[in-house]
Every structure is written in structure tokens, then in C-alpha cells.
């Protein structure tokens, strides 16, 4: 495999651009070429966000199409489902288990989480569900959810990135207590991924 | 990693956003002046230059609109300063007037106009292709064909502009602007500026007698520019074969991978084309030698295809030319779109990449963008909908005001539960459209809803028009004291400049009064009761007096407020719902529609607040009819109150 295609998705405001940037920098630190196509502007206002991350020896196109992703990482359960069409037939999906509802009257509670998980399990052999929001909340900062998923992704992508570099950069995000929680959240994500014996791409 | 981290470095590699790579290229080229009005996807170019302006001695400003930005940078280039102006595609419409004239006069130092187009309309009202401006205005258009060349191409654009003494359009699209790429850094140059102006009225005073001479020179100059572009270093003819595929701009990157996927990279000749306007005829003639058919792959309009077809006719060649017939017009390029077009053109079989699943299950709900938790527009819209609903009940919904929206986050008032917006056309269009409805609709007044930055940009002339022609128009200026949607750039309401200097605040209420508006009020929308009262009074004033009124709804953007509170070392106050008191009426999550509040479950309709999303603005506490929403720490609420008010 000369390159890896990754979709990083979730809800605008969850820190997806930070996740993608850190992974791309870690890929660069490993000596690879990398492109990360971000979503800016209106979509960041609580809408669906999709970042296309590509790592490899020679990369040209900034995006890829349906059926071409080796990995989808999601910080929200419904966004994970929305990105399933990007996955190749043997693709890997790692997702937070939390559902975030849009503030459109009448939608709240319309989803049965078990049904969603079943739908995913029935289709994706390499599925990893992680209670990232719960982990972040228990560490004291619910906004560190992205760092938990970053930790998970860093194990799946360990052949494509410099994980030492990544750990160092994670500890530079935020100040004081926030920075410490981010670091812990990232480490917890890595432990969870190791305990799940995730596929390493 | 942004520009700030790379700025002291003369070599090495950095991961930069396409827009940051443009900024870095400009710095390496010796840029002295950079101006812009923010607009997705162009914003980060001047934003990142602003970060390093003081260190490098570059003048950087957020201008009030694209026309002013253009004129500022253009004038600087005529006075010998290397200059850049950046704008989104529709921004160039605002600056089109000086754009056309700048081709007649030319410039004395390098002048690069970055036009960031937005195919697929990720954050725009249209999908216009600004390469056409180049053809129309006689200004060369140059595009990156790969992400990794963006920085060096930008540098080359400045050199080329200087060489031909003419403006150059560097045209990008969203996937160039907003993709991060590994960039090899080069040495930083000292800003190139003369600091002197040399009088030359025959060149710069476009009275008809001068303009006629300059027009003749321009047509001549255009031919020489076209010749020079044939040796432009970022164009290339690659590979060989009896068929030619032209990859114009970023489409080249998709073509390369499409050929790779289809396993035919060694069977075709490829023209990597960076200079799309004017078509470098000598180079294209060479690329066409011995070729039987051509496919032009480009996004949006057939700009290269049209020029190439005209060349084929002029030269009397018999070559089959394909383009839009196989590639299509709509939206941005994709790998499957490029593969499909190439496969059809080559007459080879092509199977779409097969994935796990192609259809989404029905439980996937839509997730449109929405106003952030704590957004000051929410209480204003909540109050406006309430006041208007009450008026509708009194006198019939057919008299509901016409809501004329504008460009900014506040367009989201379109969606339920507020359902306000009737129109959103372009920057300043709220007030302009209101002027028209005021004289053509008898039983409904127009309400223009416009943000602070948009008001400064294009709202003042139509306001004067409404006063001068005495129009019944209510203007609501949503003043969150920042240009929010593009990522928080300061504007004349903020009190600082692009480079962090303290600046005079140009108060919107002062402008309104100076324009002759007699009814002017300012309020904090978080005070719902007062807001409702002012809204009702203002509507009645406009209906009765048949004159314009302007009210300013002033409260900080929530993202800014949260940032400020944190930077003061404070925590954001946490709110909770008292389950004993909550009656589950749903007002907070259905009518106020804060994304941070939801029912406890499908069965239990009592409200609960999501700590991951809540910004602690506290407005929900004041609208709750039974007082069930309370802060955990009332003292903290007092401390942050003034921050929100700006």
C-alpha cells in the first residue's frame, strides 16, 4: 500500500481540525507526504465536518471519493454512519459512541443507539466503538473527546506517523489543567485501542 | 503549525494550509502590503500575514470591503510596493470596478490578486468561475496544479507581475485554500517598497483621451503576455501518446491519480497547465503535435476548453476536443469524476470503487449548520419570532414583515424554529432589497437583518438611500463586534486592527444618526424583555411614520466571549436544570432551540444541559417560565456578565 486515506469526521466544534492537523504533522515527521483537506466556514457551526487526510509517498489529489477510505475516525456516532460510504470494502471504522442531536425541534431521541451499533456491526468487521465522551468527561473536560479519538487513531495509524512526535505535540495543546487533561485523554485513547487490539494499517 | 511558527526559519519543512503557503510565498517574494476583506475560502492568507506583519515590517490590514482592499493594494503597487490583495470569488465582484481599470494602467511593482473560488459552494451563495474575469479584464490568471507547488507558484506570480508591470490573478479553489500540505521553506526577503510616488497622469488618470491610448496598448501587451506564458516554469508537457489530457489547475492533480488508478499513466500525454488565462498558445501548439484527440479536465466553466477550441480552429487542425461533455459543469473535481471522464474518453472499462455500503439508513438525521450555543443571535431571533407571531395573531400573518437577510452566521435564522429569512442575496443585500420592498409591497414592511461587518462593508449606501428617499425600513444590526463566520477577524466595531493595534471604534449607532435615521436604539439581546419591547416599538414606528429605523443588537460572539473568559483565567459558568421545577414544556429546546439543551429522554421531556456544548451564556435561565434553570455558581455569572456585553 503506497498511501492511506482517512476520513476524520464529527460535529463542527468538536476539534476535528486539530485532530487532523496533528495527525498530518506526525505523518510529516515520519517523512511522508500528506494532505489534509479541511472544512471551514459555515459547516463549522455545529454541522457535519469531514476532513480528508491522505498520507503516503506520492499524493496529488486533496480529496478521495466513496469507497476509497482505509479508515474513518468519528467523534460522534451518527456522523460515523454518515461516512460509512467512504469506506473501502475492508475499511476500518473507529467511533465515539455518543450521539449529538442537532437543535432541530422533534429530532431528539429519534435514534436508538443499539440499533445504530447493530447496523454498523452487521457491515464493518473492523469496527471499534469507544465511549470517548464519557472518558473525557470523567477526566474533567468533556471537550477532550477529540483527544481520546486521536489516541485511538494514533494506534491504528502507527505505521504512518511518528507517535513520539505526536505525544509531544498533544501536550502542547492548551495550558495548565486543560493541557494535562488533553494529554491524559490522548493516553487513555491509546490504551483503549491497544486493549481492543485494533488493526494497524 | 501556522506561519508564526515558521517565520524565523529559512529552510526546512512545515505543514501549512494552502492559504498559509500563499502567505509564505508572498513573504519569500518580498511582499510589503497585504489587504483583504475576510471571506471563505480566502481568509487565512491575510490572517496569517497579519500574525507576522509586525515582525517582518509588512503592512497588513483588514479593509472594510474588497473594493477598498483592492484599491489600497493596487495603489501601493503603483507606488512601487510589492502588494497582495485576497478575496473570495464573489468579493471580486465588489472589486470589479478597479480590477478592470488596473489592467489599463498596469503597476510598477508586483501586484497579485488572490481570487479564492468555491466550487461546490461549501460556504458561498454561488459557484462563479473567476478565471472568466481574467479573460474579460485582460489580466493573466494563474492556478496551482498541485498543493506542493502553491508557495513557489505564489512567489513566481509576483516576479511575473513585476516583469510585465501588470496585475496577476492567482486563482485558487477551496481544496487548495483549505488543504494542509508539506512545504519546503525558502529564505525570507525584505519587504520591497519605494516609499515615493512619481507623478504620471497620462498613465493613471483614466479620462477618455488617456484611456483610448491605454486600451490600444493593453491589447498589444496581452499578446506579449501570452507569448511569455509559454515558458512559464509551472507549465509542463509530460509523457507521450496520441492523446492529450489537459489538467488545468487543481484538476491536474486529480488527472494524475485517475491515470494511475486506471493504469494508463504511460499511455497518454498530459499538459500540466497552470497559466489558464490567456492560453499559452506556443506551448499548447507543441502539446498538440501528433495528437488525435484532446480531453480538457477543469472545474466549473470551460475556460481552457473554449480557448483551446479557438486555437484548433485558428490553426486549421483536425483534432477532436472534449471537455465539459465528459467532465460536466457542476461542483468541484473528484477522483471518481476524473476517472469516469478519462475512462470514457479513452474508451476503457471502468468500475466505480466498491465500498461497504452505498446507502444511508433512515435513522441518519440531517445536521445542518446551526447557531452556536450562546450565540447572541439566538435570543434576538427568539424575541423577534415571538413579537412577530403576536402581531400576526392580532392582524393576520399576511402582514408579517419581509425578512431581508444578509451574509453571515445570522442567515441561519432561515431554519426552524425561527423561520425568519425571506431573502439572502449578497453582501449588503438586506438593506438593498429592503429599499425595493418598501416601495413595491403595500401591507408588509421590510426588516433588514445585517451583521456589523457586513454593515460597514455594504450597508451604509443603501441606508442613506432609505433615509434620502424616505423608506419604511427597519434595520436590525447584529453587532457581535467581530467578523464571526470567517473565523473572527477584527472590524471597525472591535477596537483593534488586523495586526493588534488599538483602533477607534466606529459606532454603528453614530453612523445611523449621521445618515439621518431618527429612530436609533442599542440593546443587549440577552435581556429578552427589553428586546421584545424595542422590537415591537421599532416595528410600529416604521409602520406608522413610514421612515427608516435602525436598532443595534449588541452582544459578543459566543466563541469570542468564551475565549475571553478563559483568557481571564475564569471558568465558564455551568448551568443545570432543576428536575423538581422543570415541567418539560420544551420552550428552551424547541422554541429557543439551544443545541446544548435537550429533553432527558424520548419519554421524559424535562430538559437537561449538555456540559460538552454549554457556553454558560445563561439566557435559557431567563426564558424558562418556571425558573428551573440555574447556575451552579452565581458569583461566577456576575463576573462574566460584562464580558458578554463587550
CB B23 within 8 A of CB B45: yes
Ordered DSSP codes for B83-152:
EEEEEEHHHHHHTHHHHHHHHHH--SS-EEEEEEE-TT-SSSS----THHHHHHHT--EE--SSGGGHHH
Test B179 with A133 for CB contact under 8 angstroms: no
Summarize the confidence of residues B123-138 as an average pLDDT: 97
CB B575 within 8 A of CB B582: no
Does B355 reside within a domain? Answer: no
Summarize the confidence of residues A170-193 as an average pLDDT: 93
For A25-74, how does the pLDDT look when each residue is reduced to its tens digit (9 = 90+)?
A: 999 999 999 999 998 766 667 889 999 999 999 999 999 999 999 999 99
> Residue B359 burial (CB < 10 Å; 0-12/13-18/19+)?
exposed
For B430-444, how does the pLDDT look when each residue is reduced to its tens digit (9 = 90+)?
A: 999 999 999 999 999
- Nearest Cα of chain B lies from the Cα of A110 at a distance, in angstroms, of 7
B417 preceded by a cis bond (ω within 30 of 0) = yes
Does B475 reside within a domain? Answer: yes
Does B560 reside within a domain? Answer: no
Topology of domain A3-131+159-170, CATH: Pyruvate-ferredoxin Oxidoreductase; domain 3 (3.40.920)
Do B84 and B166 lie in one domain? The reply is yes
- Between CA A92 and CA B512 the distance in angstroms is 58
What's the domain range around B203? Answer: 3-229
**CATH number (domain holding residue B245):** 3.40.50.920
Confidence of residue B9 (pLDDT cuts 50, 70, 90): confident
Summarize the confidence of residues B288-311 as an average pLDDT: 98
Does B94 reside within a domain? Answer: yes
> What is the CB neighbour count within 10 angstroms for residue B306?
17
Do B478 and B574 lie in one domain? The reply is no
**CATH number (domain holding residue B193):** 3.40.50.970
Does B414 reside within a domain? Answer: yes
- Between CA A96 and CA A80 the distance in angstroms is 8
Q: Residue A1 pLDDT more than 60?
A: no
For B459-498, how does the pLDDT look when each residue is reduced to its tens digit (9 = 90+)?
A: 999 999 999 999 999 999 999 999 999 999 999 999 999 9
Do B575 and B621 lie in one domain? The reply is yes
Do B196 and B255 lie in one domain? The reply is no
For B380-411, how does the pLDDT look when each residue is reduced to its tens digit (9 = 90+)?
A: 999 999 999 999 999 999 999 999 999 999 99
Q: Indicate which of A61, A85, A148 best probes the interface with B, i.e. most B CBs within 10 Å of its own CB.
A: A61
Measure the CA angle with vertex A88, ends A87 and A89; round to 5°. Answer: 115
- Between CA B473 and CA A151 the distance in angstroms is 55
Do B607 and B533 lie in one domain? The reply is no
Q: Which of residues 235-264 of B touch A (CB under 8 A)?
A: 250, 252-254, 256-257
Q: Residue written as cell 492533480? A: B253
- Nearest Cα of chain B lies from the Cα of A180 at a distance, in angstroms, of 16
pLDDT score at B191: 98
The answer, for B2 touching chain A at a CB cutoff of 8 Å, is: no
Does B84 reside within a domain? Answer: yes
Test A102 with B370 for CB contact under 8 angstroms: yes
Strands B13-17 and B179-184: antiparallel
Do B225 and B248 lie in one domain? The reply is no
- Which of B512, B533, B555 corresponds to the end of one domain? B555
DSSP state of B201: H
Residues of A whose CB is below 8 A from B262: none
Alpha-carbon distances, residue B185 vs B14, B30, B337, B641 (angstroms): 7, 14, 33, 45
Q: What ipTM was estimated for this complex?
A: 0.96
- Nearest Cα of chain B lies from the Cα of A176 at a distance, in angstroms, of 11
Does B356 reside within a domain? Answer: no
- Which of B501, B523, B555 corresponds to the end of one domain? B555
Summarize the confidence of residues B163-171 as an average pLDDT: 98
Number of domains in chain B: 4
Q: Residue B300 pLDDT more than 80?
A: yes
> What is the CB neighbour count within 10 angstroms for residue B242?
11
Amino acid at each position: 500500500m503506497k498511501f492511506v486515506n482517512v476520513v476524520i469526521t464529527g460535529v463542527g466544534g468538536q476539534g476535528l481540525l486539530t485532530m487532523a492537523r496533528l495527525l498530518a504533522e506526525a505523518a510529516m515527521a515520519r517523512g511522508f507526504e500528506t494532505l489534509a483537506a479541511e472544512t471551514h466556514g459555515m459547516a463549522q457551526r455545529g454541522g457535519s465536518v469531514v476532513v480528508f487526510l491522505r498520507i503516503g509517498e506520492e499524493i496529488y489529489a486533496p480529496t478521495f471519493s466513496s469507497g476509497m477510505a482505509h479508515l474513518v475516525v468519528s467523534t460522534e456516532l451518527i456522523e460515523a454512519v454518515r461516512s460509512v460510504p467512504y469506506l473501502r470494502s475492508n475499511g476500518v471504522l473507529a467511533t465515539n459512541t455518543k450521539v449529538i442531536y442537532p437543535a432541530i425541534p422533534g429530532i431528539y431521541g429519534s435514534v436508538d443507539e443499539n440499533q445504530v451499533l447493530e447496523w454498523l456491526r452487521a457491515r464493518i468487521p473492523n469496527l471499534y466503538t469507544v465511549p470517548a465522551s464519557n472518558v473525557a468527561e470523567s477526566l474533567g473536560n468533556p471537550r477532550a473527546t477529540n483527544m481520546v479519538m486521536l489516541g485511538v487513531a494514533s494506534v491504528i495509524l502507527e505505521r504512518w506517523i511518528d507517535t513520539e512526535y505526536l505525544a509531544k505535540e498533544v501536550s502542547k495543546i492548551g495550558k495548565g489543567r486543560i493541557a494535562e487533561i488533553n494529554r491524559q485523554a490522548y493516553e487513555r485513547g491509546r490504551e483503549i485501542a491497544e486493549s481492543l487490539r485494533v488493526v494497524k494499517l | 503549525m501556522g506561519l508564526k511558527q515558521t517565520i524565523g526559519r529559512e529552510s526546512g519543512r512545515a505543514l501549512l494550509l494552502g492559504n498559509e503557503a500563499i502567505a509564505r510565498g508572498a513573504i519569500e517574494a518580498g511582499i510589503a502590503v497585504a489587504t483583504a476583506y475576510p471571506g471563505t475560502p480566502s481568509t487565512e492568507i491575510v490572517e496569517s500575514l497579519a500574525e507576522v506583519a509586525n515582525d517582518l515590517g509588512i503592512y497588513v490590514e483588514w479593509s472594510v470591503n474588497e473594493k477598498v482592499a483592492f484599491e489600497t493594494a493596487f495603489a501601493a503597487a503603483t507606488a512601487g510596493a510589492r502588494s497582495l490583495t485576497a478575496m473570495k470569488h464573489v468579493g471580486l465582484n465588489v472589486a470589479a470596478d478597479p480590477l478592470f481599470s488596473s489592467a489599463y494602467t498596469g503597476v510598477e511593482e508586483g501586484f497579485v490578486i488572490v481570487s479564492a473560488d468555491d466550487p461546490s459552494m461549501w460556504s458561498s451563495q454561488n459557484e462563479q468561475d473567476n478565471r472568466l474575469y481574467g479573460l474579460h479584464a485582460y489580466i493573466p490568471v494563474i492556478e496551482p496544479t498541485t498543493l506542493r507547488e502553491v508557495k513557489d507558484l505564489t512567489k513566481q506570480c509576483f516576479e511575473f507581475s513585476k516583469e510585465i508591470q501588470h496585475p496577476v490573478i492567482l486563482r485558487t479553489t477551496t481544496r487548495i485554500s483549505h488543504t494542509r500540505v508539506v512545504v519546503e521553506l525558502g529564505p525570507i526577503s525584505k519587504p520591497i517598497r519605494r516609499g515615493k510616488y512619481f507623478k504620471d497622469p497620462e498613465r493613471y488618470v483614466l479620462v477618455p483621451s488617456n484611456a483610448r491610448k491605454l486600451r490600444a496598448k493593453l491589447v498589444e501587451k496581452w499578446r506579449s503576455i501570452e507569448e511569455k506564458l509559454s515558458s512559464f516554469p509551472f507549465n509542463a508537457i509530460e509523457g507521450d501518446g496520441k492523446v492529450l489530457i489537459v489538467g488545468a489547475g487543481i484538476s491536474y492533480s486529480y488527472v494524475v491519480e485517475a491515470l494511475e488508478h486506471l493504469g494508463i499513466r504511460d499511455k497518454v500525454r498530459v499538459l500540466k497547465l497552470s497559466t489558464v488565462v490567456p492560453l499559452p498558445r506556443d506551448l499548447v501548439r507543441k502539446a498538440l503535435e501528433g495528437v488525435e484527440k484532446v480531453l480538457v479536465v477543469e472545474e466549473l466553466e470551460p475556460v481552457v476548453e473554449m480557448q483551446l477550441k479557438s486555437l484548433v480552429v485558428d490553426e486549421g487542425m483536425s483534432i477532436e476536443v472534449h471537455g465539459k461533455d465528459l467532465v460536466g459543469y457542476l461542483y468541484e473535481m473528484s477522483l471518481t469524476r476524473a476517472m469516469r471522464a478519462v475512462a470514457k474518453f479513452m474508451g476503457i472499462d471502468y468500475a466505480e470503487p466498491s465500498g461497504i455500503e452505498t446507502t444511508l439508513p433512515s435513522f441518519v438525521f440531517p445536521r445542518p449548520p446551526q447557531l452556536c450555543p450562546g450565540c447572541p443571535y439566538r435570543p434576538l431571533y427568539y424575541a423577534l419570532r415571538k413579537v412577530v407571531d403576536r402581531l400576526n395573531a392580532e392582524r393576520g400573518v399576511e402582514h408579517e414583515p419581509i425578512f431581508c437577510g444578509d451574509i453571515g452566521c445570522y442567515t441561519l435564522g432561515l431554519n426552524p424554529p425561527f423561520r425568519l429569512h425571506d431573502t439572502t442575496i449578497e453582501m449588503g443585500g438586506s438593506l438593498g432589497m429592503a429599499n425595493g420592498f418598501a416601495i413595491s409591497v403595500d401591507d408588509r414592511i421590510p426588516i433588514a437583518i445585517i451583521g456589523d461587518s457586513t454593515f460597514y462593508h455594504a450597508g451604509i449606501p443603501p441606508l442613506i438611500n432609505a433615509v434620502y428617499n424616505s423608506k419604511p425600513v427597519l434595520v436590525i444590526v447584529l453587532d457581535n463586534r467581530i467578523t464571526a463566520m470567517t473565523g473572527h477577524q477584527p472590524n471597525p466595531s472591535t477596537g483593534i486592527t488586523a495586526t493588534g493595534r488599538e483602533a477607534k471604534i466606529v459606532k454603528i449607532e453614530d453612523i445611523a444618526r449621521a445618515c439621518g435615521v431618527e429612530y436609533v436604539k442599542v440593546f443587549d439581546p440577552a435581556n429578552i424583555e427589553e428586546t421584545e419591547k424595542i422590537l415591537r416599538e421599532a416595528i410600529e414606528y416604521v409602520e406608522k411614520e413610514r421612515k427608516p429605523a435602525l436598532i443595534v443588537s449588541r452582544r459578543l460572539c459566543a466563541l469570542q466571549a468564551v475565549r475571553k473568559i478563559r483568557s481571564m483565567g475564569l471558568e465558564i459558568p455551568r448551568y443545570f436544570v432543576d428536575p423538581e421545577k422543570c415541567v418539560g414544556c420544551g420552550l428552551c429546546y424547541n422554541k429557543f432551540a439551544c443545541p446544548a439543551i435537550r429533553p432527558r429522554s424520548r419519554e421524559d421531556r424535562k430538559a437537561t444541559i449538555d456540559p460538552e456544548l454549554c457556553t454558560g451564556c445563561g439566557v435559557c435561565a431567563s426564558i424558562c417560565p418556571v425558573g428551573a434553570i440555574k447556575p451552579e455558581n452565581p458569583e461566577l455569572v456576575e463576573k462574566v456578565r460584562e464580558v458578554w456585553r463587550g
